[in-house]
Amino acid sequence: MEKMNILVVDDQKYVSEAIVETLRRKGYGVKTAASGSDALELFVQEPFDLVISDFKMQPMNGVELLENIKQLTPDVPFLIFTGYGDVKTAVEAMQKGAYTFLEKDNNWLQKLEVMVERALEVRSLITTVKTLDTENKALKAQQSELREKWDYVGSAPKLMEVRKFTETVAESRSTVLITGESGTGKELIARWIHYHSPRRPGPFIKINCAALPEGLIESELFGHEKGAFTGALKTKTGKFEAANGGTLLLDEICEMPMNAQAKLLRAIQEKEVQKVGGDDPVHVDVRILAATNRNLEEEIQNGHFREDLYYRLNVFHVQLPPLRERKEDIMPLAQHFIGKFNDDNGFSVERLSEECEKPLLAYNWPGNIRELENKIERAVVLTRTGIIKPDAFRFSNEGAHIKPQTGGGGFEAGMTIADAERELIIKTLEHCGKNRTKTADMLGISIRTLRNKLNEYALEDGAETLADGGANG
């Protein structure tokens, strides 16, 4: 149990010492001040759970100190005492927020013990109520935000089936595998499951398996002890421990190396992890959600993913439909994003023109909701006010894929395979707005392979502008 800290204020040293001895025997942390001004200075510097003060002090008496303390922290209990029986003083102190008033008589220290215990119980109760209220408000705000985000993900029948299913799944402790193309909203669905589950008061922790160097994945997942390897300058808490009591999302799970998959499987089955360099396992209570834009069954056949881990993760499967399969959501989503970017930038764009509808609905949307959001943002910024016209949009004729051309566009007869590959990566990055996740998806490679190619061809200079993907998975 955390030690409660008490501030004792009295200008008579022998009185302070008697109170301190009484309280420390009870296990309280106690500090003293010889005047009201000293007490205020201490109170500003560190938190106290209770203040006990004499009334008769100079130049600031106990009631004046009470008023100052209550301005700083209204909830802290304040106990005032005096050797001079004065009903008027007691009433004044209580009216100004004192918890109680104690007159020094023959057994006043014994009475003080009881009053301190009761005052701290009240303090703990108030703190607990406030904490619960804050947490409840935070959860309601998070759920409200998620509802708003879900509204812009769409309301097509296919998607509403997913929503209904996830609300049912959320009540369980089972693992969930969330699949779908890049930009369909996989992380949003994971958060939706967490905040509609009994684990919503606990943490929601996400780890992007593709964004971690292979040698650090185990440390990120399970933590490490100080000195476990070169550079381990202090003990690190892994994502499993950080998510204890809550939910852990393993994003882009397919990019996890096979040796790390084996250790992940063991952690899920045993419900315990072992830090790198540690001796004793640590029990964890974590619900696992996993997300990927790849077909894990094909990855298993190709030897890139463990079959036993797949079955452990795939207790429930949520498949998000791509935007091209629910085109009735495109125009409402576009209007939602117009409002969003108006608010962000102070613009006054009204809507899309009727001429915009045909190209928007005809486009294949390889980047799904994320791509639509990016294109609407560009159109709003270019338009700023009034109605968006078709010339504010820029679409690729090839839809989901970029095709190399001969005799132009940077590809020429006689160029090396390496040069052609480098050129294709550059063009695809530009096409995807420098979004790595979408680029890798278009090229049919993993994001880890893309990162290696960027290093190989010295294309990492602008790494800070090459996003790994948005929040919607």
Answer yes or no: is pLDDT of 414 > 60. no
Closest CA to 401 of 371, 373, 432, 379: 432
Q: pLDDT tens-digit profile of 16-42?
A: 888 888 888 888 889 999 888 888 988
Sequence-ordered list of residues with C-beta below 8 angstroms from that of 226, at least 6 positions apart, any chain: 232, 233, 234, 235, 277
Q: Is the Cβ–Cβ distance between 231 and 277 less than 8 Å?
A: no
Backbone angles phi, psi at 319, to 5 degrees: -105, 115
User: What gap in Å lies between CA 211 and CA 404, rounded to an integer?
Assistant: 28
pLDDT category at 132 given cuts 50, 70, 90 is low
CATH of 154-321, one of 3.40.1410.10, 3.40.50.300, 3.40.190.10, 3.40.50.720: 3.40.50.300
Mean pLDDT on 132-139: 64
Q: Is the Cβ–Cβ distance between 339 and 375 less than 8 Å?
A: no
227 conformational bin, left if phi > 0, alpha if psi -120 to 50, beta if neither = left
User: What gap in Å lies between CA 272 and CA 35, rounded to an integer?
Assistant: 53
Closest CA to 373 of 326, 413, 338, 421: 338
| Amino acid occupying residue 312 | R
Count CB neighbours of 445 within 10 A: 14
CA distances from 181 to 58, 191, 213, 236 (A): 73, 17, 23, 33
pLDDT category at 300 given cuts 50, 70, 90 is very high
Closest CA to 54 of 65, 44, 46, 45: 65
Q: Do the strands 348-352 and 385-388 form a parallel or antiparallel pair, or are they unpaired?
A: parallel
Backbone angles phi, psi at 57, to 5 degrees: -135, 160
Q: What is the 3-state secondary structure (H, E, C) of 389-415?
A: CHHHCCCCCCCCCCCCCCCECCECCCC
Query: Which pLDDT belongs to residue 147?
Result: 56
Report the interhelical angle of 36-45 vs 62-72 (nearest 10°): 20
User: What gap in Å lies between CA 383 and CA 356, rounded to an integer?
Assistant: 13
CATH of 5-127, one of 3.40.50.2300, 3.30.43.10, 3.40.50.12240, 3.50.50.60: 3.40.50.2300
Q: Is the Cβ–Cβ distance between 291 and 473 less than 8 Å?
A: yes
User: What gap in Å lies between CA 473 and CA 469, rounded to an integer?
Assistant: 7
Sign of the Cα pseudo-torsion (143, 472, 324, 159, in order): negative
Count CB neighbours of 300 within 10 A: 16
Which of 95-99, 307-311, 330-334 is the most confident on average?
307-311
| Amino acid occupying residue 47 | P
Query: Which pLDDT belongs to residue 471?
Result: 37
Domain boundaries, the chain: 5-127, 154-321, 324-392, 417-465
Q: Per residue in 317-348, is it b (16+ CB within 10 Å) or e — as a string? A: ebebbbbbebeebbeebbebbbebbbeeeeee
Coil, strand, or helix at residue 55? Answer: coil
Q: pLDDT tens-digit profile of 343-363?
A: 889 999 999 999 998 889 988
Domain 417-465 falls under CATH 1.10.10.60? yes
Q: pLDDT tens-digit profile of 167-187?
A: 899 999 999 999 998 888 898
57 against 94, higher pLDDT: 57
Q: Is the Cβ–Cβ distance between 153 and 159 less than 8 Å?
A: yes
Mean pLDDT over each residue of the chain, to the nearest integer: 82
Closest CA to 152 of 21, 337, 421: 337
Query: Which pLDDT belongs to residue 242?
Result: 93
Mean pLDDT on 234-259: 91
User: What gap in Å lies between CA 260 and CA 121, rounded to an integer?
Assistant: 48
Q: Is the Cβ–Cβ distance between 314 and 288 less than 8 Å?
A: no
CATH of 324-392, one of 1.20.140.10, 2.60.40.10, 1.10.3720.10, 1.10.8.60: 1.10.8.60
Domains 5-127 and 154-321 share a fold: yes
